[in-house]
Chain A
Amino acid sequence: NAGVTQTPKFQVLKTGQSMTLQCAQDMNHEYMSWYRQDPGMGLRLIHYSVGAGITDQGEVPNGYNVSRSTTEDFPLRLLSAAPSQTSVYFCASSYSRGGGVCGYTFGSGTRLTVV
């Protein structure tokens, strides 16, 4: 049971380049989220999904796109990378019980540097 798998682990992009951060989970969780972590700012929600075909914006969605065509996968696309997007990105998934999310399982992160 792999849990939440993120690829790549490290990436360096040039300003203006695009790329996709991959996230896959094998726990049949309906909820998935993308967060970015910056020093002194905790984790901030970028986009989230409550099921296949359903996505919504979080706190800091600008410059990022997501899609959820299957339950397992939730890729994050950077449309035109900017230095401000240098960060560590975490994908997370969860199931619900009793009407609420039971706590997210996090991937190990992707460290992205934009130069």
Chain B
Amino acid sequence: AQSVTQPDIHITVSEGASLELRCNYSYGATPYLFWYVQSPGQGLQLLLKYFSGDTLVQGIKGFEAEFKRSQSSFNLRKPSVHWSDAAEYFCAVGAGTASKLTFGTGTRLQVTL
């Protein structure tokens, strides 16, 4: 069975600083990988996804993520954080057809002005 670990429960960065959120997965084959963002009281919005091909994927809102098979990682990055990026971020992995997703426990991002 697949699993996801997000080791950072809470991260605080200054506006304009760079951001990296960590995600490690466990799955025997090449997985489907996703990053979602959730603002307070809202549902989840898909930021980006990796299926195959180029290991650096671009998403919405200026986010990108890099798939590293050797490290079983799919870290999310943004070069310059905006105050509106404050939210909770979830990494998810899907096996097979990815009809079932396994989510990490999330990382809450706080942005200071």
Contact = CB atoms under 8 A, between A and B. Distances in A.
Interface string A78-100: 00000000000010100010111
A90 B99 contact: no
Interface residues of B, number: 26
Interface residues of A, number: 29
A107 B41 CA distance: 11
B97 A104 contact: no
Interface stretch (A12-20, A35-43, A67-75): A35-43
A96 B97 contact: yes
B43 A42 contact: no
Given A42-B106, A50-B99, A109-B43, 5 more contacts: A4-B43, A48-B99, A59-B102, A100-B51, A106-B43
14 contacts: A33-B100, A42-B103, A42-B104, A43-B44, A48-B100, A50-B99, A58-B100, A90-B44, A100-B94, A100-B98, A103-B49, A106-B43, A106-B44, A107-B43
